[in-house]
Chain A
Amino acid sequence: MTTMTSTAPAASTKTPHTSGGGRRWRPGRVLLYVALTIGAVPTMLPFVWLARSALMNDNQIFIAPPEWIPNPFEWANFSGALTAQPFFRYFVNTMIIELVVVTGTVLTCSVAAFSFARLRWRGRNVVFALLLTSVMLPYAVTLIPTFVMWRSLGALDTFVPLTVPAWFAGAGGGVFNVFLLRQFFLTIPFELDEAAYIDGASPWRVFWLVIMPLSKPALVVVTIFTFIGVWNDFLGPLLYLSDESKYTLALGLASFQSVYTAQWGYLMAASAVVIAPIIALFFFLQRYFIEGVTLTGIKS
């Protein structure tokens, strides 16, 4: 847990090879910030467009050239959009799925990662390598038989097909989490396990009382990315849920869009509501996000 706080001071102390040493505003630096700003404008513009449209009434939204400041601020778009379809129901459904999937993924993935990282058993590395191949597999290949399977089990139009695979180490792409956690577990000193075993602990106790408490950063990363995966998943709910009262937010938003095609105020308000929680999550847990993306990118 202490590993990631130590990087910041190290960078500021070692500046031997900058010739001036001072922070004078050389033309190059100015140009740098100009370039960064030029990049930031088109990046942020869609967000501005989203916000301004979400707060405009229809009279103003269809003015050309476009206006940027809503007048009046049409907050009613939010209440209108959110009651036009049962978005609160969609939110509850999404959160139910989130709860089951995130718990299942974190638990079964870390258990498997512990086994692959810290317990010696015959065939371990072969099995692990085999599991990893499924990361490369396009989801389309397993899509149809999986659907057929759930259909024959009578699980269509329930949350079962969307949640149960998570309890098998995420299944498919979720294997990536096992990989990530395993890499993290490998960095924990093995002496800790040894000591616990000498005290008569079982592997389960080592996992639960030694490894897990030391792995919070990695577990948070897996939690965040699993949460976002569920929040964003569209194809899964589209395939398996047909009763509108069971829709998730992503599916609900798509269906909303197909009904209210030209109600841009409503559509943007609803989109903003679906986007906002993820952005909020990001601001609260920012360092874990960057950590996570970096972790996924570096050792692969």
Chain B
Amino acid sequence: MAAKKSRLSGQGRLESRWGIILAMPAILGFLIFTIGPMIASFFFSLTDWTIGGRPSFIGLDNYRTMVKDELFWKSLSVTAYYTVGAVPLGLIIGFALALLLNQRVRGLSLWRTIYYLPTLVPAVASAVLWIWIFNPDFGLLNSLLRQAGLPTSQWLYSEEAVVPSLIIMSTWGFGNAMVIFLAGLQGVPRHLYEAVSIDGGGAWQRFRHVTLPMMTPTIFYNLVTGVIGTFQVFNQAYVMTQGGPNNASLFYIYYLYRTAFTESAMGYASALAWVLFMVIMLVTFLLFQNARRWVYYEMAGAR
């Protein structure tokens, strides 16, 4: 025992030396590319600074400007609108299909592949494809609607329809959530279903009292990552709509990008970034607060 202990202490020194060396790239990366820029970003946000010029300290003026900046509010509401539409829709479709696929479907991997495939399409390629699908004259959607005798839409070219259009497009990527749901469903212990069956419960009871509660952590995970993701939408605005028409798709990050790199207002853009950070933190916090009421953790407090 004593011999082992002394070996371990030599070993301990070795481990702690190597431990720090091997973790160093990650630690440095964190300092250089995360914490450093984060702090810098905060200081930038207190300045009036066009790139190439000299930053001048203006205190909280950027934040005061923001309160009266119509485009800021517009971009925030556009982004929130998109999130509120896209996230629940993606979750519901993803969950529904995962439930179907969990019914011992034949050719499971084929079905899963079909539904997962759209998530593999690179964002820019997907944007280009959907511009064409949404084309009012010869695009896929209006062609189908016309053939079915249904009313068509101007899609991306209409102030009212542009965000719903992008929400429709986003649901094409439900496969990611679906695969995660499917994995979650396969982890639900079978004996719970058997217990419900023994008590005379049918399919609905099994779903309502076993599947749904056991899946709440997975639903919550997909919800949080979905919300954080949709708050940071950029590519669609840049490639498909340039924020238009009439700022109807002025997504937050796109507005930030334009402020920083088209108007070179680095100070104001940094303030926008910090507000986004705070909004995301707040929303995440509220989601976690709310989660206590409906998310079921088998070993509450264990993690």
Query: A residues engaging B (CB < 8 A)?
Result: 14, 17, 32-33, 35-36, 39-40, 43-47, 49-50, 53, 61-62, 64-66, 108-109, 111-112, 114-116, 119-122, 124, 127, 130-131, 134, 136-149, 151, 165, 167-172, 174-175, 178, 197, 202-204, 207, 228, 231-232, 234-235, 238-239, 249-251, 253-254, 257, 264, 267-268, 270-271, 274-275, 278-279, 282, 286, 289-290, 293-294, 296-298, 300
Contacts and interface: CB of A to CB of B under 8 A. Distances in A.
A145 B44 contact: yes
A85 to B, nearest CB: 13
A43 B115 contact: yes
Interface centre among B113, B128, B133, B176 (most CB of A within 10 A): B128
B125 A271 contact: yes
The main secondary structure of chain B at its interface with chain A is: helix
A65 B239 contact: no
Contacts of A250: 122-125
B289 interface: no
Given A116-B23, A275-B121, A300-B221, A257 B273 contact: no
Contact of B51 (A148, A235, A290): A148
B249 interface: no
Interface centre among B129, B235, B257 (most CB of A within 10 A): B129
Contact of B132 (A14, A53, A116, A175): A53
B97 A39 contact: yes
A300 B256 CA distance: 30
B118 A115 contact: no
Nearest to A49: B140
A141 B37 contact: yes
Contacts of A149: 37
A250 B36 CA distance: 29
A235 to B, nearest CB: 6
A66 B143 contact: yes
Interface string B42-66: 0010000001000000000000000
B131 A112 contact: no
B28 interface: yes
B236 to A, nearest CB: 10
Contact of A169 (B26, B37, B116, B127): B26
A131 B129 CA distance: 37
A44 B238 contact: no
B260 A138 contact: no
Interface in B19-42: 19-20, 22-23, 25-30, 32-34, 36-38, 40-41
Contacts of A119: 15-16, 18-19, 22
B194 A43 contact: no
B27 to A, nearest CB: 7
